[in-house]
Structure 1
Amino acid sequence: MEMKQINDLREIQLKIEELTHAYVQCIDDNRLEEWPEFFTEDCLYQIISRENDERNFPASLIYCDSKGMLKDRITAHRQANIFEAHVYRHIVSSIRITSHENDTYTVHSNYAVFQTRVNGNSEVYNVGKYIDKVIFEDDQPKFKEKKVIYDTLVIPTLLVTPI
């Protein structure tokens, strides 16, 4: 591989890493109205158990197949859902680009989400992996697909905030 190709690939990786870190910071900072902007208009956002994903069962905790559905999710989160106040803190592993085809990058990373409730107690809330399809729009990376595959067997509270 030529040096220019290596540098181009590093630049792409850095941009995708920045997308991932900005995404989780947006959630952790409770700026959820900005969250849909990390996605393309015709996107897929899915939170699914490892067991269902491995068996190709479609049942998901959350399934949104457009940016409009993501916006609706946040509106429901803010106006209709009742849940105990909490904050999230994500820890995300380094990303790994596993394939590149037709201007779409497949990216894998692992995550852990800690939840802190108003009483100050923190606990591991959810652990798993992200499998993302990333494309570039105007030289900016966007999620075409974000599949959140969780390993956590029991989610201790209502899952209302994106992971």
Structure 2
Amino acid sequence: MGGTAIVWLAEGTWPACIDAARSWVPPDDDIVLLHVGGSELAAAHGALAGLLGRGRRGPEASIDALSAEAVAGLLDRARQRLGRPATTEQRTGRVEREVVAATADAVLLICARDGDRSRLGPRSLGPATRFVVDHVPCPVLLVWPGEAPDLESIPPPPPPGAEPPPPPPHERH
């Protein structure tokens, strides 16, 4: 390939992404370990403001420090598991849009299924991951963060002559 592979790290699924990078990214390609913090911090700050009252000093700085410490720990564990040089990138914002933006010049994105893990199919992707898979400008390696379900988990085909089900809400025009 000869480029940069982005490995999107999310809590709970990142080890599978790192293992995929170890197997699929050529040694001469660069790897960027990407973590995106979303609206969780804003929600925590809002909850504190509601509890303490607006304008009062609260532990917002502590929340920010704990979050930064947790992300740094995740990135360190990921780098150690990878076992080869990699750069890290931290972004904040709408997760799906930040991941897409981070892949602008990438040759590969590695990410994990984060939805229903009990069966194969589109619901195995959460909304942010579905957006990313549909919008990134590079190839995507989509991995199961554990054992993939059996093929028997696929719903049976509709009977002959039956109308297909409507598309999911995000695909309706």
TM-score normalised to structure 2 length: 0.23
Structure showing greater relative contact order (alpha-carbon pairs closer than 8 Å, 6 or more residues apart): 2
Relative to its length, the structure with more strand (as a share) is 1
TM-score normalised to structure 1 length: 0.24
Relative to its length, the structure with more helix (as a share) is 2
